[in-house]
Amino acid sequence: DAGVIQSPRHEVTEMGQEVTLRCKPISGHDYLFWYRQTMMRGLELLIYFNNNVPIDDSGMPEDRFSAKMPNASFSTLKIQPSEPRDSAVYFCASSFALSGNTIYFGEGSWLTVV
């Protein structure tokens, strides 16, 4: 079975540009998560969805960040405008509640804002 698929794997962009990260969760999973990982702050939960509905977005750092899940097989995390401090690895993950909430991670999107 395909795992969680993220794109792009690597992105380098200039400050002020819009960045869109994409995620395809594992088919049948009803939870989707966006995490950010940095050396300084470790692994942070930004937002998560249940059945395409945002449940908790308290981890979203500021209004420049937004996330959508238009259907069960696709989600985006958008940063507009991007800043150098947004440089991080962004992980998408998904889970199926009835399997004990085991979360499966994608390979990550490595973002560098210069």
Partner 1 sequence: AQSVTQLDSQVPVFEEAPVELRCNYSSSVSVYLFWYVQYPNQGLQLLLKYLSGSTLVKGINGFEAEFNKSQTSFHLRKPSVHISDTAEYFCAAGGNNAGGTSYGKLTFGQGTILTVHP
Q: What is the DSSP string of 19-52?
A: EEEEEEPPTT--EEEEEEEETTTEEEEEEEEETT
- Is 107 near partner 1 (CB under 8 A)? yes
Residue closer to partner 1 (CB basis): 27 or 102: 102
CB of 58 to partner 1, least distance (A): 11
| Residues between 50 and 79 with contacts to partner 1, criterion CB under 8 A | 50, 55-56
Residue closer to partner 1 (CB basis): 22 or 83: 22
Token pair 């990260």 is at which residue? 21
Residue closer to partner 1 (CB basis): 41 or 85: 41
Copy the structure tokens of residue 66: 């937004």
Bridge pairing between strands 88-95 and 104-105: antiparallel
Q: Annotate 50-80 with three-state secondary structure.
A: ECCEEEECCCCCCCCEEEEEEECCEEEEEEC
CB of 22 to partner 1, least distance (A): 15
Stretch that binds partner 1, among 11-19, 44-52, 63-71, 73-81 (CB under 8 A): 44-52
List of residues contacting partner 1 (CB under 8 A): 31, 33, 42-43, 45, 48, 50, 55-56, 91, 93, 95, 97, 100-108
